[in-house]
């Protein structure tokens, strides 16, 4: 039987027949990443009634990438380089994570989602890597580089992430300027880039959830991406 994979996303203004309107927008590669395994993708946009969100009917969820998380959610004031904040998306995805943990729904958190998983568990973020001394690697490589290997990632062997990928050293794309600072409760670091940026986290309790800082959906033919989406869809 086909499984249901819920995929979160944000809104974007799009020019359509009624004019320029706010639309729920997602990279279609996410849908393909579920369809490739015979499963059904359900797109989950920002909800005004986020307190009522229940993801228990999904077999798995993805918390996808996007704009920056409001620093108020982790007890900080907004820095000048923190941009594209959506409070309604933050609230929606935090509620999705809460419901997923309560119902032990398999969760793959990507880039912004990886950071939000840490915030949900009480962790904090660097609001800008460059401003905090991470200058050896340019982690913000979108557009023409979004489907290219940008830097290495070193994976700890005693982790779920290593069980999934079965490689200690991989190459990934990179489209972010923020990163995990202090790790949240019930989490452990599973991977880092050579400059020390946290590239992977996972739960230490019974919740089957992992976070990764890179974007596997942009490189579906990459063996690492294939293994991650195979795990998600299994």
- C-alpha 214/C-alpha 181 separation (Å) is 16
Nearest to 125 by CA among 83, 85, 70, 174: 70
34 catalytically annotated: no
217 catalytically annotated: yes
For residue 37, the SS3 value is coil
Sign, CA dihedral 124-122-190-224, equals: negative
Sign, CA dihedral 199-178-120-30, equals: negative
User: Going by C-beta distance under 8 Å and a sequence separation of 6 or more, which residues neighbour residue 5?
Assistant: 34, 39, 40, 41, 42, 58, 59, 60, 61, 62, 232, 233
* 163 exposure class (CB count in 10 Å sphere: 0-12, 13-18, 19+): exposed
140 catalytically annotated: no
Q: Which two tokens stand for residue 119?
A: 């915030």
Alpha helix segments (H runs only) across 36-111: 87-102
**Out of 93, 199, 202, 217, which one is annotated catalytic?**
217
- Which residues on adjacent β-strands are paired with residue 25? 10
**Out of 93, 111, 151, 202, which one is annotated catalytic?**
111
Tell me the catalytic residues.
111, 215, 217
């Amino acid at each position: 039987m086909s499984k249901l994979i819920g995929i979160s996303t944000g809104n974007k203004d799009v020019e359509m027949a009624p004019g320029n309107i706010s639309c729920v927008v997602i990279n279609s590669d996410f849908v393909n990443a579920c369809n490739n395994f015979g499963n059904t993708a359900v797109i989950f946009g920002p909800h005004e009634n986020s307190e009522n969100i229940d993801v228990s009917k999904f077999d798995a969820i993805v918390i996808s990438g996007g704009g920056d998380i409001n620093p108020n959610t982790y007890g900080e004031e907004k820095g000048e380089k923190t941009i594209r904040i959506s409070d309604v998306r933050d609230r929606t995805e935090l509620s999705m994570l809460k419901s997923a943990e309560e119902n032990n729904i398999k969760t793959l958190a990507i880039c912004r989602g990886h950071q939000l998983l840490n915030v949900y568990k009480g962790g904090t973020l660097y609001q800008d890597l460059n401003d905090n001394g991470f200058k050896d690697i340019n982690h913000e490589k979108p557009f023409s580089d979004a489907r290219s290997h940008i830097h290495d990632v070193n994976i700890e062997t005693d982790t779920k992430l290593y069980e999934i990928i079965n490689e200690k050293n991989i190459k990934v794309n990179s489209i972010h300027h923020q990163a995990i600072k202090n790790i949240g409760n019930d989490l452990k670091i599973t991977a880092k880039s050579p400059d020390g940026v946290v590239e992977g986290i996972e739960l230490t309790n019974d919740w089957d959830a992992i976070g990764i800082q890179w974007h596997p959906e942009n490189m579906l033919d990459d063996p690492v991406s294939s293994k991650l989406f195979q795990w998600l869809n299994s």
